[in-house]
Chain A
Amino acid sequence: NAGVTQTPKFRILKIGQSMTLQCTQDMNHNYMYWYRQDPGMGLKLIYYSVGAGITDKGEVPNGYNVSRSTTEDFPLRLELAAPSQTSVYFCASRDSRTNEQFFGPGTRLTVL
């Protein structure tokens, strides 16, 4: 099992550009999450999904969008990138039997 994979690993965007962060899991988990991590600020939930076709906002959804067309994929879309979106982004999926969240390796995004 590859677990949770994320692409790209690094990306630099200019202000106003858009991009999609990809996330795929091969564990057949229904629950998936997108977090951003800023130094000293812990992990903040952006969006989450409880299954294909169902998504909901987390703590900090502004400036982001998600979709969940399949169980495996949960892409995060950034529209009109701003410097405040410079962060490390983590995707995770949860095993509903154990509650353990499995994290991807992260995407480091810089908006200049």
Chain B
Amino acid sequence: QQQVKQSPQSLIVQKGGISIINCAYENTAFDYFPWYQQFPGKGPALLIAIRPDVSEKKEGRFTISFNKSAKQFSLHIMDSQPGDSATYFCAASKGGNNRKLIWGLGTSLAVNP
């Protein structure tokens, strides 16, 4: 059972365009929603994260939008650059001793120059 559903599976955007990746979750106990970025041959790295008490968080060109009632959150990459070409994973976790992350299946983003 996939508790965090991510779409699209792949995305092609022109340089300067906006990249949008969506995630939906089922468990209302989740209280931490990070996005990780992974370049080929590397481990994932935290890009940006949000908690459900805010509807939006912005860091540079990257923005998370969060809709608690719809149980959805999305990553927006403004002014997309070829260097943003990577795989992006959304995830969710809830409080507890281990805080295991439940991962989406990933979105492969290609930004054409």
Residues of A that sit less than 8 Å from B by CB: 4, 31, 33, 40-43, 45, 48, 50, 56, 58, 90, 92, 94, 96, 99-101, 103-106
Contacts and interface: CB of A to CB of B under 8 A. Distances in A.
Given A40-B105, A42-B89, A42-B106, A100 B99 contact: no
Given A31-B99, A94-B99, A103 B34 contact: no
Nearest to A103: B43
B93 A99 contact: yes
20 contacts: A31-B98, A40-B9, A42-B89, A42-B104, A42-B106, A43-B44, A43-B89, A43-B101, A45-B101, A56-B98, A58-B100, A90-B43, A94-B99, A99-B49, A100-B46, A101-B44, A105-B41, A105-B43, A106-B41, A106-B43
Contacts, number: 52
B45 interface: yes
A104 B42 CA distance: 8
Interface string B75-102: 0000000000000010001000111110
Interface size class of B (residues with CB under 8 A): 20 to 34
B62 interface: no
A100 B37 CA distance: 13
Nearest to B31: A99
Interface of B: 9, 32, 34, 36, 41-46, 49, 89, 93, 97-101, 103-106
A56 B96 CA distance: 14
A34 to B, nearest CB: 12
B99 A99 contact: yes
Contacts of A45: 100-101
A48 B98 contact: yes
A42 B99 CA distance: 18
Contacts of A33: 100
